[in-house]
């Protein structure tokens, strides 16, 4: 007897909110691990969540710049649009049709429990303000738009940071409710929760735009060097033994160095290496990895047509799938041709 096992292709999908310009922390924590999932027996969908960005950003030129920089960051870091589907959320209007359909399956109580919304409510109430002060409906219903992003393409696996685990549960919940009410048309996605890697910024706290402690990577060699020079160390002199464990420079170094280099660096710390020399070595390992990315970034930066063409090709490739699913969903809910 033969047993034939069909291995379903994994369909990996993830979205990147287009706010700000990606820094080394984003590169190590999100871009690199997501691109490592691209493999010949997976399908991968990467998209720019530009409608999600509107929740927090009302400056239109910031949105425009960020879409460009985020796209260039991914492309320069190795995203190959021939091997992955790469598109803008806003180029797939069916996402919004699905969002509405899902809104009608999503319990308001479920969304009341979303961390991002709850923590803002808590802040307001602590300040003695109205609970919903400065909270827009975009923020409140953010998880429904995210569910639509995922469900519209029948994604099976969604790599996200631990902060998105709850949104993934909600996506499954909402999809399950739809399937139960109408018919099994939506694929319940699995979250691939990526280990939170804590990349320190120049002041030793987690690297974040809001702490103003970032190290950029889409920048010239000089700017990279300058920002590494700003990393805060203690005042131990050259020759004095140093502890690598709690050291920002060492933590950053270990993200880019080989195992052998890391072992040697630990030894140099005990031998009393000067901070200036650690910074030189840190610059060199980061620069070695970033150099080809930087070159590609500067090359692509002057080709806006290329980006526009990529977006339009990306949408052309995936939109028919979205249209097909929405067609079935409309029929399932009773919005179709009258017979
Ligand atoms: N909410 C995600 C974040 O901030 C971005 C995102 C939007 C997303 N839609 C998605 C991630 C769909 C995965 C799948 O990180």
Instruction: Look at residue 4 and tell me whether its pLDDT is greater than 80.
Output: no
Q: Which residue in the block uniquely carries the two structure tokens 């999600």?
A: 52
CA distance 143 to 155: 16
Cβ 49 under 6 angstroms from ligand 1: yes
Is the distance from CB of 330 to CB of 182 less than 8 angstroms?
no
Does residue 57 lie in a domain region? yes
Phi and psi angles of residue 103, each rounded to the nearest 5 degrees, phi first: -55, -35
Do residues 268 and 245 share a domain?
yes
Mean per-residue pLDDT, 118-145: 97
Over the stretch 147-180, which tens digit does the pLDDT of each residue have? 999 999 999 999 998 999 999 999 999 999 999 9
Residue 31 confidence class, pLDDT cut points 50, 70, 90: very high
Residue 7 pLDDT > 80, yes or no? no
Q: Is 160 in the pocket of ligand 1 (CB under 6 A)?
A: yes
Report the percent of the chain where pLDDT is more than 70: 98
Task: Indicate the top mutation candidate among 160, 174, 175 to test ligand 1's pocket, ranked by most ligand atoms within 8 A of CB.
Answer: 160
Atom of ligand 1 lying closest to residue 142 CA: 1
**What is the CATH classification number for the domain harbouring 286?**
1.10.240.10
Residue 117: φ, ψ to 5°: -70, -45
Quick check: helix, strand or coil at residue 279?
helix
191 and 246 in a single domain? The answer is no
Question: Once rounded to an integer, what is the mean pLDDT over residues 209-219?
Answer: 93
Q: What's the pLDDT tens digit per position in 228-271?
A: 999 999 999 999 999 999 899 999 999 999 999 999 999 999 99
Q: Are residues 55 and 163 in the same domain?
A: yes
CB 70, CB 18: distance < 8 Å = yes
pLDDT at 2 over 90: no
**Nearest residue CA, atom 4 of ligand 1?**
17
Domain that holds residue 241: 219-299
Residue 147 Cα, ligand 1 centroid: separation in angstroms? Answer: 9
Contact assessment for residue 243 and residue 269, using Cβ atoms and an 8 Å cutoff: yes
User: How confident is the prediction for the chain on average, in pLDDT?
Assistant: 95
Residues 41 and 152 both lie in one domain: yes
Whether 205 maps to a domain, the answer reads: no
Same structural domain for residues 56 and 145?
Answer: yes
Residues 70 and 161 in one domain: yes
Domain-located, residue 136: no
Domain membership flag for residue 5: no
Cα 200 to middle of ligand 1, angstroms: 23
Query: Does 149 contact ligand 1 (Cβ within 6 A)?
Result: yes
pLDDT of residue 5: 59
What distance in Å separates the CA atoms of residue 107 and residue 115, rounded to the nearest whole number? 16
**Does any ligand 1 atom lie closer than 6 A to the CB of residue 200?**
no
Within a domain: residue 120? no
- Residues 64 and 92 grouped into a single domain: yes
Joined together, the tokens standing for residue 8 give 């379903």
Query: Which candidate, 60, 325, 95, 66, places its Cα nearest to that of 187?
Result: 325
Number of domains making up the chain: 2
For residue 177, the model assigns a pLDDT of 98
Res. 6: pLDDT tops 70 = no
Assess whether pLDDT exceeds 90 at residue 219.
yes
User: CA-CA distances (angstroms) from residue 306 to 10, 301, 309, 312, 313?
Assistant: 29, 9, 5, 10, 10
Of the chain, the percentage scoring pLDDT greater than 90 comes to: 91
User: What are φ and ψ of residue 189, in 5° steps?
Assistant: -85, 150
Query: Contact, 191 vs 160, CB < 8 A?
Result: yes
320 within some domain:
yes
* 14 C-alpha to ligand 1 centroid (Å): 6
HSE value, Cβ hemisphere, 13 Å, CA-based, for 21: 14
- Per-residue pLDDT of 318-329, as tens digits, reads 999 999 999 999
179 with 228, same domain: the answer is: no
85 and 232 co-located in one domain: no
- Identify the helix (H) or strand (E) that includes residue 44: strand 42-49
Are 265 and 277 a contacting pair, CB within 8 Å? no
Q: Measuring from atom 8 of ligand 1, which residue has the nearest CA? A: 15
Residue 188 CA to its chain's centroid (Å): 20
Same domain, residue pair 179 and 248: no
Query: How many other CB atoms sit within 10 Å of the CB of residue 258?
Result: 10
Residue 168 in domain: yes
CATH number of 16's domain: 3.40.50.620
Same domain, 29 and 173: yes
Nearest to 236, CA basis, from 270, 203, 275: 275
């Amino acid at each position: 007897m033969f047993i034939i096992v069909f291995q379903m292709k994994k369909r990996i999908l993830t979205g990147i909110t287009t706010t700000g310009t990606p820094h080394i922390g984003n590169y190590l924590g999100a871009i690199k691990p997501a691109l490592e999932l691209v493999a010949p027996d997976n399908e991968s969908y990467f998209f720019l969540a530009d409608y999600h960005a509107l929740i927090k950003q009302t400056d239109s030129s910031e949105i425009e710049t960020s879409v460009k920089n985020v796209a260039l960051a991914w492309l320069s870091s190795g995203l190959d649009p021939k091997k992955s589907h790469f598109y803008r959320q806003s180029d797939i209007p069916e996402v919004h049709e699905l969002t509405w359909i899902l809104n009608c399956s999503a319990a308001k109580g479920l969304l009341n429990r979303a961390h991002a919304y709850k923590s803002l409510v808590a802040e307001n109430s602590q300040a003695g303000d109205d609970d919903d002060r400065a909270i827009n409906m975009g923020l409140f219903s953010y998880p429904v738009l995210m569910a639509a992003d995922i469900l519209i393409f029948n994604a099976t696996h969604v790599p996200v940071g631990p902060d998105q685990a709850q949104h993934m549960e909600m996506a499954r919940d909402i999809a399950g409710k739809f399937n139960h009410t109408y018919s099994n048309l939506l694929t319940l996605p699995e979250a691939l929760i990526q280990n939170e890697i804590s990349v320190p910024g120049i002041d030793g706290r987690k690297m974040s735009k809001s702490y103003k402690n970032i190290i950029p990577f889409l920048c010239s060699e000089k700017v990279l060097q300058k920002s590494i020079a700003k990393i805060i160390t203690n005042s131990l002199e050259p020759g004095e033994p140093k502890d690598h464990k709690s050291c920002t420079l060492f933590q950053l170094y270990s993200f880019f160095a080989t195992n052998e280099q890391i072992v040697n660096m630990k030894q140099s710390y005990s031998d009393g290496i000067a901070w200036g020399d650690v910074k030189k070595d840190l610059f060199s390992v980061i620069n070695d990895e970033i150099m080809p990315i930087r070159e590609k970034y500067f090359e692509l930066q002057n080709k806006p047509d290329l980006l526009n063409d990529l977006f339009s090709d990306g949408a052309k490739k995936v939109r028919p799938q979205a249209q097909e699913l929405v067609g079935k969903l409309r029929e399932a809910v009773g919005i179709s041709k009258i017979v």
